[in-house]
């Protein structure tokens, strides 16, 4: 490839390396859902993944690629979500220090989970500037390596292994659908589809309340999110600079859905599949429901990105 | 065997017959749960089964064993729970009439599910006498065959296939744990363990608020439930006459758990496994938590019986 995108070999190598540290998650289907949609859908259950989300794939890959010297210094990130847990867990498993800058308003359950993995948590004001300042300070003081949640080729390569696994676990898929926030999972899925199942098209689902990927995709250049607001709290971030060219080249389409459509799709998954997914996970399925008429007769694989949801605060 | 218990061949034959109509449900595990309990646990996910519960196994077996003449007359039962849906669904798939007597206070969602399968629903007062009277009337009028939810060897044989599958899907288990209400699943599991994995011991979990199996098991004779009261609404019934001798002969122990223990075990499954189980499903796991100290070093298989729960009325 005439660019510096992760290669087919990079993804194969990453998958081999991270396999001892992650689950090969099951692929499930529901005849009731197939009947309702009038097409065949399979779900790659990354909600069953370690730490409850696909993020552990990228974090593990990034940690395993560190030199021994870098490992001694540790790793750092800022996040209030699944990436924080993924970094903390990978650090624990590999016995290296981790420093996580978290906003003061992060749910206590998430802060405790990160602390439970032995990471050092640095609290900051709940805004991007404070998070970046906090991160820069800890990196300066400790020499820890900052691992970006999505704008990083090692992360994209790690996330790519979910779609690679899905492709290996099923018959040929007409489409793979994934959510898009920063674009780590989407860019990775697009690369895996290109390398391992070149006839499979990639379609992204995005919340209408955080539709910077949709806007950017159609404009042909990056347009950052402006006051994103959606129940899909894992998809609030804007697409990364490294992710966007991969998405432009290998993604077929981006479909946006309202929060109502996301909640309704989420409920359908809970009720019919009997599995727990977080709102962000339901975004590609909500998108599929919206465009199902155009995909008749094709087999669709959906990556369910995670299942970390506060059971006391369900939207239904 | 010197009794008329279902034989090994009966179960093998039933499994072959019903397989085209049911899911071979996955067996899942969680390293977090293994860590918390300090032993290895695998879960047989009958919450992913058709109609959301193992009951479809027995109902399908019973329907397939009908003669052509009996099939014409149809089948009947009284139930407000998963057995009603199982009978209605099996009847639909086999294109035979079904008559379900349901108490007036049955949840509308369940009544609608049964109607959705094309069964005729007969509403009655919410007490056992009215249910039995309603059933007798419909059987008299239609000639339909009554299929009892548990006190029936064809039902027991069908339910036995869940444990048979579990045994085939995993390494040798030290223990299999199942819930006990009427005893269809428990007696079936005990027979499958005896025939297909004779070193595996069977332990039942039962709600303390409906502990007739525990009482009967210890007394050596049937003691019916007296005003049972528990959140595990699938386990309110008393053990059947045909089920009890099988349980006496092949079950190692029955452990009772409080509703608090059931809810806490249910929440742990939801949070750590990211799957939806109904309260009755969590009873064996709650029992395992209670006696985990005695099972150290052994591998335990738990049958998660179903996942039909009203998402608007969660106990946590």
pLDDT at B105: 86
Answer whether B188's CB lies under 8 Å from B47's CB.
Answer: no
- As a 3-state breakdown, chain B gives helix, strand, coil percent values, each rounded to 5, of 50, 15, 30
Question: Which ranges of chain A would DSSP assign to H, the alpha helix?
Answer: 8-18, 31-37, 55-64, 68-73, 82-93, 108-116, 128-142, 153-169, 184-196, 212-219, 243-250, 259-273, 279-291
Does residue B110 sit at the A interface (CB-CB below 8 Å)? no
Is the CB of B274 less than 8 angstroms away from the CB of A275?
A: yes
CATH 3.40.50.1100, domain A8-53+153-304, yes or no:
yes
- pLDDT of A127: 86
- DSSP, collapsed to helix, strand or coil, labels residue A297 as coil
Q: Looking at the complex, report in whole angstroms how far the Cα of residue B111 sits from the nearest Cα belonging to chain A.
A: 16
**How high is the pLDDT of residue B157?**
98
Asked whether residue B313 carries a pLDDT value surpassing 80, the answer given is: yes
Instruction: Please check whether residue A157 is in contact with residue A124, taking contact to mean a CB–CB distance below 8 angstroms.
Output: no
Q: CB pairs below 8 Å between A and B: how many? A: 44
Measured CA to CA, the distance from residue B187 to residue B180 in angstroms comes to 9
Nearest to A184 by CA among A254, A119, A235, A258: A235
Give B312's contacts in chain A (Cβ within 8 Å). Answer: 316
DSSP-assigned states of every residue in B2-22? -S-SPPHHHHHHHHHHHGGGS
- Is the pLDDT at B242 greater than 90? The verdict is yes
For B311, the closest of A28, A273, A316 (CB atoms) is A316
What pLDDT, on the 0 to 100 scale, is given for residue B19?
Answer: 98
Is the pLDDT assigned to residue B1 strictly greater than 70?
A: no
Query: Ramachandran region of residue A236, left (φ > 0), alpha (ψ -120 to 50) or beta?
Result: alpha
Which of B109, B270, B274 would best serve as a mutation to test chain A binding (most A beta carbons within 10 A)?
B274
Q: What is the ipTM of this complex?
A: 0.92
Residue ranges of chain A assigned to CATH 3.40.50.1100: 8-53+153-304, 56-146
Q: Does B108 touch chain A (CB under 8 A)?
A: no
Partners of residue A269 in chain B, C-beta under 8 Å = none
| Domain A56-146: top CATH class | alpha beta
Angle between helices A82-93 and A108-116 (to 10 degrees): 10
pTM: 0.94
Q: Mark yes or no for CB contact B270/A276 under 8 Å.
A: yes
Residue A98 burial (CB < 10 Å; 0-12/13-18/19+)? buried
Q: How far, in Å, CA of B90 to CA of B57, rounded?
A: 9
For B169-212, how does the pLDDT look when each residue is reduced to its tens digit (9 = 90+)?
999 999 999 999 999 999 999 999 999 999 999 999 999 999 99
Interface of A with B in 255-274 (CB under 8 A): 267, 270-271, 273-274
Angle CA(B258)–CA(B264)–CA(B268) in degrees, nearest 5? 145
Residues of B in contact with A316 (CB under 8 A): 311-312
Give the pLDDT of chain A (316 residues) as one tens digit per residue: 458 999 999 999 999 999 999 999 999 999 999 999 999 999 999 999 999 999 999 999 999 999 999 999 999 999 878 999 999 999 999 999 999 999 898 888 889 989 999 999 999 998 889 999 999 999 999 999 999 999 999 999 999 999 999 999 999 999 999 999 999 999 999 999 999 999 999 999 999 999 999 999 999 999 998 899 999 999 999 999 999 999 999 999 999 999 999 999 999 999 999 999 999 999 999 999 999 999 988 999 999 999 999 898 899 8
A20 vs B: CB within 8 A? no
Q: A26 and B26: CB-CB below 8 Å?
A: yes
Mean pLDDT, residues B163-169 taken together: 98
The Cα B287–Cα A123 span in angstroms is 40
pLDDT score for B123: 96
Q: What is the pLDDT of residue A191?
A: 98
Min distance B47 CA to chain A CA atoms (Å): 7
What is the per-residue pLDDT for B126? 86
Q: What is the pLDDT of residue A2?
A: 57
By residue count, chain A amounts to 316
Owner of token pair 């308003």: A105
Query: Which region among A40-44, B1-5, B56-60, B126-130 has the lowest average model confidence (pLDDT)?
Result: B1-5
- 3-class DSSP assignment, residue B152: coil
pLDDT in the model for residue B127 = 86
At residue B120, does pLDDT exceed 90?
Answer: yes
B28 with A26: Cβ contact below 8 A: yes
What is the chain A residue with the closest CA to B270? A276
At B2 the pLDDT is 56
Q: What is the pLDDT of residue A313?
A: 87
Query: Residue B3 has what pLDDT?
Result: 80
pLDDT digits (tens, 9 = 90+) for B88-100: 999 999 999 999 9
């Amino acid at each position: 490839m005439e660019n510096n995108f992760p290669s087919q070999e990079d993804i194969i190598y990453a998958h081999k390396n991270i396999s001892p540290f992650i689950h090969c998650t099951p692929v499930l289907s529901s005849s009731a859902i197939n009947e309702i949609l009038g097409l065949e859908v399979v779900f790659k259950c990354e909600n069953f993944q370690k730490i409850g989300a696909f993020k552990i794939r990228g974090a593990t890959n990034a940690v395993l690629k560190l030199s021994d010297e870098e490992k001694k210094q540790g790793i750092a990130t800022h996040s209030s979500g699944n990436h924080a847990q993924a970094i903390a867990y990978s650090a624990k498993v590999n016995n290296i220090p981790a420093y996580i800058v978290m906003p003061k308003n992060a749910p206590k359950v998430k802060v405790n989970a990160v602390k439970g993995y032995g990471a050092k948590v640095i609290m900051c004001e709940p805004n991007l500037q404070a998070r970046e300042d906090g991160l820069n300070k800890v990196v300066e003081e400790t020499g820890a390596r900052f691992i970006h949640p999505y704008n990083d080729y090692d992360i994209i390569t790690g996330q790519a292994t979910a779609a690679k696994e899905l492709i290996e676990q099923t018959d040929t898929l007409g489409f793979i659908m994934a959510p898009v926030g920063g674009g780590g999972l989407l860019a990775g899925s697009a690369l895996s589809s290109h390398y391992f199942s070149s006839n499979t098209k990639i379609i992204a689902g995005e919340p209408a309340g955080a539709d910077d990927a949709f806007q950017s995709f159609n404009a042909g250049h990056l347009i950052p999110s402006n006051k994103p607001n959606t129940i899909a709290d894992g998809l609030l971030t804007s697409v990364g600079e490294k992710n966007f060219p991969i998405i432009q080249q290998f993604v077929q389409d981006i479909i946006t859905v309202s929060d109502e459509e996301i909640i309704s799709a989420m409920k359908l998954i809970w009720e019919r599949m009997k599995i727990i997914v977080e709102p962000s996970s339901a975004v590609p399925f909500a998108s599929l429901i919206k465009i199902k008429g155009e995909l008749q007769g094709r087999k669709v694989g959906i990556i369910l990105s995670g299942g970390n949801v506060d059971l006391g605060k369900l939207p239904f």
